[in-house]
Amino acid sequence: MKSAVLAGCFAAMLSLGAAGAVAADAIVVGSKAFTEGYVLGEIAAQTIESATTVPVKRKLGMGSTGILFEALKSGAIDVYSDYTGTLTEAILKRPDLKSIGAIQQALLAMDLVMSGPLGFDDTYALAVKESFAEQHHLNSISDLAGAEALVRAAFSYEFMDRKDGFQGMAASYHLHFAPQNVNRMEHSLTYQAIDDGAVDLIDLYSTDAKIEKSHLRVLKDDRGYFPVYQAVWVARKAFTEKHPREWQALLNLQGSISGQAMIDMNAQADIQHLSFAKIAAQRLGAEAPRSQSLKSNILQRTREHLWLVGIALLFSVLVGIPLGLVAVRFHAAGQAILIFSALIQTVPSLALLCFLIPLFGVGMKPALAALCMYSLLPVVLNTFTGVRTVDPKHVENARAFGLTGRQILLRIVLPLASPTVLAGIKTATIVSIGTATLAALVGAGGYGAPIVSGLSLNDVPTILTGAIPAALMALIAYGIFEILGIVLIPAGLRKQS
Partner 1 sequence: MLKLQNIDKSFEGKPVLSDVSLTVPQGATHALIGSSGSGKTTLLRITLGLIPFDRGYVKIDDQALLSFTPVQWADRIGYVPQDGGLFPHITGFRNVSLIATLRGWGTQKIAGRVEELRKLVDLDPAVLGSFPFEMSGGQQQRVAIMRAAMMDPAVMLLDEPMAALDPLIRRSLQRELKSIFQRLGKTVLLVTHDLGEAVYLAETITLLHAGRVVQSGAYRELLKHPADPFVTQFINAQRTLPDASEVA
Task: Please report, as ranges, the residues that interact with partner 1 according to CB under 8 A.
Answer: 393-394, 396-404, 407, 411-412, 415-416, 490-493, 495-496
Which is nearer to partner 1, 213 or 411 (by Cβ)?
A: 411
> What's the rounded Cα separation, in Å, for the pair 393 and 54?
67
SS3 of the chain: the string is CHHHHHHHHHHHHHHHHHCCCCCCCCEEEEEECCHHHHHHHHHHHHHHHHHCCCCEEEEEEECCHHHHHHHHHHCCCCEEEEEHHHHHHHHCCCCCCCCHHHHHHHHHCCCEEECCCCCCECCEEEEEEHHHHHHHCCCEHHHHCCCHHHCCEEEEHHHHHCCCCHHHHHHHHCCCCCHHHEEEECHHHHHHHHHCCCCCEEEEECCCCHHHHCCEEEEECCCCCCCCCEEEEEEEHHHHHHCHHHHHHHHCCCCCCCHHHHHHHHHHHHCCCCCHHHHHHHHHCCCCCCCCCHHHHHHHHHHHHHHHHHHHHHHHHHHHHHHHHHHHHCHHHHHHHHHHHHHHHHCCHHHHHHHHHHHHCCCHHHHHHHHHHHHHHHHHHHHHHHHHCCCHHHHHHHHHCCCCHHHHHHHHHHHHHHHHHHHHHHHHHHHHHHHHHHHHHHCCCCCHHHHHHHHHHCCHHHHHHHHHHHHHHHHHHHHHHHHHHHHHCCHHHHCCC
Work out how close the CB of 494 gets to partner 1 at its nearest, in angstroms, rounded to a whole number.
9
Which is nearer to partner 1, 199 or 412 (by Cβ)?
A: 412
Work out how close the CB of 394 gets to partner 1 at its nearest, in angstroms, rounded to a whole number.
6
Which is nearer to partner 1, 252 or 397 (by Cβ)?
A: 397
Q: Per this entry, what is the length of the chain?
A: 497
Work out how close the CB of 5 gets to partner 1 at its nearest, in angstroms, rounded to a whole number.
18
Work out how close the CB of 59 gets to partner 1 at its nearest, in angstroms, rounded to a whole number.
49
Which is nearer to partner 1, 338 or 408 (by Cβ)?
A: 408
Work out how close the CB of 422 gets to partner 1 at its nearest, in angstroms, rounded to a whole number.
13
Work out how close the CB of 1 gets to partner 1 at its nearest, in angstroms, rounded to a whole number.
15
Work out how close the CB of 418 gets to partner 1 at its nearest, in angstroms, rounded to a whole number.
8
Which is nearer to partner 1, 220 or 388 (by Cβ)?
A: 388
Which is nearer to partner 1, 96 or 391 (by Cβ)?
A: 391
Which is nearer to partner 1, 72 or 395 (by Cβ)?
A: 395
Which is nearer to partner 1, 194 or 416 (by Cβ)?
A: 416
Work out how close the CB of 276 gets to partner 1 at its nearest, in angstroms, rounded to a whole number.
56
Which is nearer to partner 1, 245 or 495 (by Cβ)?
A: 495
> What's the rounded Cα separation, in Å, for the pair 286 and 280?
8
**Cβ-proximal residues to 12 (8 Å cutoff; 6+ apart), any chain:** none
Which is nearer to partner 1, 2 or 411 (by Cβ)?
A: 411
Work out how close the CB of 401 gets to partner 1 at its nearest, in angstroms, rounded to a whole number.
5
Work out how close the CB of 490 gets to partner 1 at its nearest, in angstroms, rounded to a whole number.
4
